[in-house]
Chain A
Amino acid sequence: MTHPMIQFDKVLKAYGALQVLKDLDFSVDNGEVVSIIGPSGSGKTTVLRVLMTLEGIQGGTMYVNGEPLNKMNVDGQLVDASKAHIRRIRSKIGMVFQSFNLFPHMTALDNCNESPIHTQGKSKAEATEESMRLLEMVGLAEKANHYPSQLSGGQQQRVAIARTLAMHPEILLFDEPTSALDPEMVGEVLEVIRDLAKSGDYTMLLVTHQMGFAREVSDRVCFFDGGKMVEQGKPDDLFGNPQHDRLKQFLSKVLEAG
């Protein structure tokens, strides 16, 4: 039996009385590229944040490749996961943030090397070779010894992508990766993400406001509103023939704004 790569089973996320995710059922297949769109406050970014374990959930279970993430199996019972269990499952997931979150006191190369050396136990030479290959791939090999403050926003985000890939994740999460960028730098980052999506090597979950891009690269697009997935479908269906009024409204507003 094949498992979905990511599965949310009745996931509840709440801040006090405010429910951000309401018993969310949601799954992504291995190698699938899924975009999540929706108005702010719809819970779309929260999906990524709880999956990355940046925030806890109040109910339900998340599975990664069939294994529970926030729970673990002890004698056939699902109990709250230990730190070690979470770290083991989490190693399959990488995340690219809206605000890059590069380590400002490390060069681009050291940013990429940090996790491979210190959490995966690679030698410095081995890690550097891999990091240089990845920096080359995002077009920044010659900036390897630059610090984040010496790079443009677009370059920083590409380094952040290389840093994430250096951990060899199976799942890539992109949280509005171009929202903090100047317009002329959006293209260079989207190009890198497009290549990753096309490669088919990764299961990708992308939260974005770039509707054209979501339509182009995604196998499936999900529309979130009010902590629920309201509608999902193939990009052309969802954008070309939206069913729900909320989605129609949302799309007309977004497309109006350009």
Chain B
Amino acid sequence: MDWRWDFTFDVVLPKMWQAAGVTIWATVASFAFALVGGLILMLLKTNRSAWISRPATELIEFIRATPLLVQIFFLFFLLPEIGLTLPPLTTGILAIGIYNSALCAEVYRAGFQAVPKGQWEACTALNMSTYRTFRDVIIPQSLPPIVPALGNYLVAIFKETPLLSFVAVAEIMQVSKLIGAEYYRFTEAITIAGIFFLVMSLIAAFGIRLVENYVKRSILH
């Protein structure tokens, strides 16, 4: 295999450095969106009124049943049609965030349902408000199953960001394609991109394990 170190250091790494930042930013922002969006969707879905829960359930199903790439294209080409022109990166974060909100909603729901019924009943018997019930009893106990599942979605989102290269976001995959096209050399750029994803995924997995252990230690005794 023809690998050139000078090309790697002089051309590829400087260009990809910035692109890596875009990838990480897209991941973090989409994940933050999905964390909040998922909670909102879950609350809507479990709302007592069918007028709220039905549309939320349908929306979640719709989002889950459509490929992410289609949704990215959809937002990218549709939003300008309705007069909302956002930068490609923002559109991409929105698309990935919405998609993963639908997935995280299920994680939250499963987590809350895993809390034994007796815990809810004890809260009622102690005359606790809904807010206190969730804040002090339900959420702390649902974190141990929720945290690892959400961690998986963080890694999944990270690996979904190359889809943004389809709408010309200068994330790491797009930049390595551009380098390849410009210099007719794909080996170094694509390899570096691969290594970047591998290393970052391993770091993220390690970080998630730390958070998991922390949650388990501080909540389960």
A97 touches B118 (CB 8 A): yes
Which residues in chain B, 170-221, are within 8 Å of chain A measured between CB atoms? Answer: 219-221
Residues of A within 8 A of B128 (CB): 114-115, 118-119
CA distance A97 to B117 in the complex (A): 12
CB of A117, distance to nearest CB on chain B (Å): 10
Cβ-neighbour of B221 out of A52, A105, A119 (below 8 A) = A105
CB of A145, distance to nearest CB on chain B (Å): 11
CB-nearest residue of chain B to A164: B125
CB-nearest residue of chain A to B126: A115
Q: Is B66 close to A, CB under 8 A?
A: no
CA distance A149 to B141 in the complex (A): 14
A101 touches B219 (CB 8 A): no
B141 touches A104 (CB 8 A): yes
Residues of A within 8 A of B151 (CB): none
B140 touches A119 (CB 8 A): no
CA distance A196 to B122 in the complex (A): 20
What is the interface residue range for chain B against chain A? 10 to 19
Residues of A within 8 A of B118 (CB): 97, 99, 101
Known: A97-B121, A149-B221, A150-B221. A119 touches B137 (CB 8 A): no
CB-nearest residue of chain A to B119: A101
Q: Is B132 close to A, CB under 8 A?
A: yes
Query: Which residue among B127, B136, B141, B219 has the maximum number of chain A CB atoms within 10 Å of its CB?
Result: B127
CA distance A89 to B132 in the complex (A): 19
Q: Is B124 close to A, CB under 8 A?
A: yes
Residues of A within 8 A of B121 (CB): 52, 54, 97, 101
CB-nearest residue of chain B to A91: B127
Residues of B within 8 A of A94 (CB): 125-126
A105 touches B140 (CB 8 A): yes
CA distance A149 to B122 in the complex (A): 17
Residues of B within 8 A of A95 (CB): 125
Q: Is B129 close to A, CB under 8 A?
A: yes
Residues of B within 8 A of A52 (CB): 121, 124-125
B220 touches A101 (CB 8 A): no
A104 touches B220 (CB 8 A): yes
> Can you list 16 A-B contacts (CB < 8 A)?
A54-B121, A90-B124, A94-B125, A95-B125, A97-B118, A101-B118, A105-B140, A105-B219, A105-B220, A114-B136, A119-B126, A119-B129, A164-B125, A164-B126, A167-B126, A167-B127
